[in-house]
Amino acid sequence: MAQPVRIGVVGCGSVGTGSYMPFLQRLNLQGVRSEIVAACDVVEERRSMVRERFGVDNFTTDYHDVLANADVDLVLVLTSMQQHGEITRAALEAGKHVLVEKPMSMSLEEAGEIVELARRSPGYLLCAPHVVLSPTYQAMWRHIQRGDIGKVLSARGLYGWSGPNWGEWYYKPGGGSMFDLGVYNVTTLTGLLGPARRVMAMSGIAIPERIINGQRVEVQSHDNAHLLLDFGGSVHAVVTTGFTLQQYRCPGVELYGSEGTIQMLREDWDPGGYELWRNSAGYWELHEDRSNWPWTDGVRHLIESIQAGTPPIITPEHAYHVLEIMTKTMESGNTGQALPIESTFTPPSFEMEGEPEEAAHLIHDPARE
C-alpha cells in the first residue's frame, strides 16, 4: 500500500478548514491516504480550531516553518491570492510538492519563474482550478474529440455571484472576479478548445464600495467583466464574470459546433452533467452526473500522482496561459485594446473509453415515443 502523503496546509481560512481539510479526511476513509502534519495561518486564533477540528498540533504563524519541516511532502497554498506566488515559489525551492489555489501568482513575470522552477524542481506543482478532472468535463471532451458536434466554432462561459462578504482582499489590487471566478471558465474553455491567441474585454469596477465583515471597503479590483477570446480561424468564445450577478438560470458553459451543441448542466466548478444536441439525432440528450464531483479533487489527484510517481495531468503551463488571459483581460478593460496572447500549452487529453452513453438519460428520445 502507498505511503500516506504528509501535508502542510498554509492558509487555514474558509477553503482551508471548510473545504480542503475535511475533504482530506473523507479521502482517507476512501483509501487515498494522507496526513496533515503541519498547519499555518498568520492569524494565531486559528491554532485551537485546527487542533480541535483536525487534530493537528503542529501550528505556526510563519509559513517558512512548514517549508523547513522535513516531514512535509506536500504544501497546500490556500491563503489569500496576494500571497500565492511568494509561498509557491519558496515551497518549490524547498523541494516540496505544491498545490496552489488560483491564481498561482498575481504577476505574469513571477508566474513564469514559478513554471520554470517547477520544471527543475523535484516537487510537482498543481495549480487550481481542477475543473478538467470532473467526469462532466471529460465526457464533454470525449464528445468533442469524437466530432459529435462537428468543429467547435463558438463558445461561452458564465460564472458570477453577488461577491464575498468576507476577505477584504477579494476587492484589493490583485483580487477581482476574473481571478476568483472567471478563472474556471477560462480554464475550461482553453482546456476544450486549446490555447487562445488574442483577448479583448470590457472590464471594470461596477460597485465602488462594499460592506465586508461589517466594514466599508473601497473596491480596487475589477468586479465586472465580459471577455472575448479569439482561438484563431474565427473561432471565438465569451466569458462573463462578476461580483455583480445576483442569480441566473442558464448553463455555465456552452459550446456550439458545426453539427451540434453541448452545454454543461450547472457550472464547471460544480457540474451536474451536460445536454447534447446532434443534428444527426435531432433531439436533446440529457446526461446527468449525480456523482457530486468535489471542486477540491485536485488534491486527490496530486496525492495519487505523488504516490504513483507520475506527473499530474493539470499542467503549470495551462495555469500560466490562463493567467496571461486574465491579466490581459484587465489590461484590455483599462485600455480598450485587443491584446495578443503569447503563451501556449498542450491541453490535457484522456482515455476515450468510459463511453458517456452508458450514463445517458434521454429526456426526449423519439425512438421511445
From the CB of residue 286, how many other CB atoms can be counted at a distance below 10 Å? Answer: 15
- Return the number of the residue (9 or 196) whose C-beta is nearest ligand NAD: 9
Identify the residue among 79, 221, 263, 329 touching ligand NAD (CB under 6 A): 79
Size of the site for ligand NAD (CB under 6 A): 22
Buried b (16+ CB within 10 A) or exposed e, 140-170: bbbbbeeebbbebbbbbbbbbbebbeebebb
Q: Is there binding between residue 80 and ligand NAD (CB under 6 A)?
A: yes
Q: For residues 132 and 354, what is the distance between their CA atoms, to the nearest angstrom?
A: 16
Residue with cell 477570446: 229
**Residue nearest ligand NAD, CB atom distance:** 13
Q: Shortest CA distance to 87 belongs to which of 107, 102, 67?
A: 67
* 34-73 binders of ligand NAD (CB under 6 A): 40-43, 63
Q: Is there binding between residue 176 and ligand NAD (CB under 6 A)?
A: no
Q: Is there binding between residue 167 and ligand NAD (CB under 6 A)?
A: yes
Q: Is there binding between residue 10 and ligand NAD (CB under 6 A)?
A: yes
Residue with cell 482515455: 351
* 177-196 binders of ligand NAD (CB under 6 A): 180
| Residue-wise DSSP of 2-18 | PPPEEEEEE--SHHIII
Q: Is there binding between residue 83 and ligand NAD (CB under 6 A)?
A: yes
Q: For residues 301 and 312, what is the distance between their CA atoms, to the nearest angstrom?
A: 7
Q: Is there binding between residue 102 and ligand NAD (CB under 6 A)?
A: yes
Q: For residues 145 and 237, what is the distance between their CA atoms, to the nearest angstrom?
A: 18
Identify the residue among 8, 11, 85, 333 touching ligand NAD (CB under 6 A): 11
Of the candidate spans 76-84, 132-140, 286-294, 298-306, the one that interacts with ligand NAD by CB under 6 A turns out to be 76-84
- Return the number of the residue (81 or 306) whose C-beta is nearest ligand NAD: 81
Chain residues that interact with ligand NAD, rule: CB under 6 A: 10-16, 40-43, 63, 78-81, 83, 101-102, 166-167, 180
